[in-house]
């Protein structure tokens, strides 16, 4: 492969490759979770790892989410760097006591002397017809807990760099994959590299409005931007990449430039992360806004099983286009 040729791989393959490279790089790293071993995970996200690294480093666990997180907390507290997997983001609820009351609080309750290099991986989001109990986006729950870092990559390149940063961080991190993005493709270099947690990415520069897009909504925002550009409307797209810590400085800079903000996420609109982002923007850049901040998100209802209803439920490029046009036609 020529040095200038980009290596294109799938989102899911970037995840597997990064895990393998981390396991080879650091003997203190191990993986544990339901079906992550010989089966390779429900989405084959761990396929082949058990065969290479064995049962002691790629560990199948019982169906017991609290125990899985507890295992990770204990291992991290004594110096290992566990990666523990919760098969679906919905299962975070089962383990929330361990996550919120133990993992997130340990460093604080030991006066800052404890380190907890624990990475929790999970898959969130709708789009695969997995219905109401296996399709949720619960990042707003997690960012509300002091002590947790929450990451949501939107492409294979960021996935790899952010996952490396999570595993090497001495604090508990929650790394969310999106189920409907597992087959998406993008440029990913070989070898380990880090993307700092808490640094947003300006995906596309524009002058008419800013769209802050979370996770899979970044690709929908890019589709919307291409369509809007044909009408002479240029939007700036910001991908936060990390929801906690959140890079509000990059968003504020864009707000002062475009004077209009639209936030889009797949989670339910009411109480979603978009509300917190909007609040921070108006605290720091209210005088620069020429219109109210727009929010595009799912309705206040469980995720439908029906494919047609699910498509209507999840925001897409069309809803982003409408949200941008609404912002452009409203005055502050």
Instruction: State the catalytic residues.
Output: 65, 134
Tell me: cis bond preceding 245? Omega within 30 of 0 counts: yes
Helix (H, G, I), strand (E, B) or coil at 114: coil
Angle between helix axes 317-328 and 217-229 (nearest 10 degrees) is 60
One DSSP character per residue, 186-213 reads EE--SS-----TT--EEEE--SSEEEEE
Other C-beta atoms closer than 10 Å to the C-beta of 54 total 12
58-60 and 209-213 beta bridge pairing: unpaired
Kindly list the distances between the CA atom of residue 192 and the CA atoms of 44, 98, 143, 242, in Å, as whole numbers in the listed order.
Answer: 21, 30, 27, 19
| Rounded (10°) CA dihedral 79, 81, 87, 91 | 40
Q: Minimal CA–CA distance to 23: which of 46, 42, 7?
A: 46
Burial of 201 (0-12, 13-18, 19+ CB in 10 A): middle
């Amino acid at each position: 492969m020529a040095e200038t040729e980009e290596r294109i791989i799938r989102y899911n393959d970037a995840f597997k490759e990064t895990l393998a490279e981390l396991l080879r790089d650091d003997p203190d790293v191990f993986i544990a979770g339901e079906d992550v071993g010989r089966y390779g995970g429900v989405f084959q996200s761990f396929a082949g790892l058990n065969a290479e690294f064995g049962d002691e480093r790629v560990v199948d666990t019982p169906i017991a989410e609290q125990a899985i997180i507890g295992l990770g907390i204990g291992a991290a507290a004594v110096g290992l760097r566990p990666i523990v997997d919760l098969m679906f983001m919905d299962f975070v609820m089962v383990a929330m006591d361990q996550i919120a009351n133990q993992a997130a609080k340990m460093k604080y309750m030991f006066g800052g002397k404890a380190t907890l290099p624990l990475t929790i991986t999970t898959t969130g989001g709708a789009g695969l017809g997995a219905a109401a109990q296996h399709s949720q986006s619960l990042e707003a729950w997690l960012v509300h807990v002091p002590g947790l870092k929450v990451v949501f990559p939107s492409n294979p390149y960021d996935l790899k760099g952010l996952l490396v940063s999570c595993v090497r961080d001495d604090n508990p991190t929650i790394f969310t994959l999106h189920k409907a993005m597992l087959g998406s493709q993008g440029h990913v270099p070989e070898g380990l590299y880090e993307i700092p947690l808490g640094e947003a990415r300006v995906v596309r520069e524009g002058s008419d409005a800013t769209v802050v897009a979370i996770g899979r909504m970044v690709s929908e925002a890019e589709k919307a931007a291409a369509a809007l550009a044909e009408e002479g409307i240029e939007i700036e797209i910001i991908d936060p990449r990390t929801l906690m810590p959140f890079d509000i400085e990059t968003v504020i800079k864009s707000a002062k430039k475009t004077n209009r903000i639209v936030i889009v996420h797949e989670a339910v609109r009411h109480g979603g992360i978009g509300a917190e982002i909007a609040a921070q923007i108006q605290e720091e850049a209210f005088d620069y806004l020429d219109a109210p901040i727009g929010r595009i998100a799912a309705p206040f209802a469980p995720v439908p099983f029906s494919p047609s209803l699910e498509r209507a439920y999840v925001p897409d490029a069309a809803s982003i286009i409408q949200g941008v046009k609404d912002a452009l036609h409203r005055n502050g």
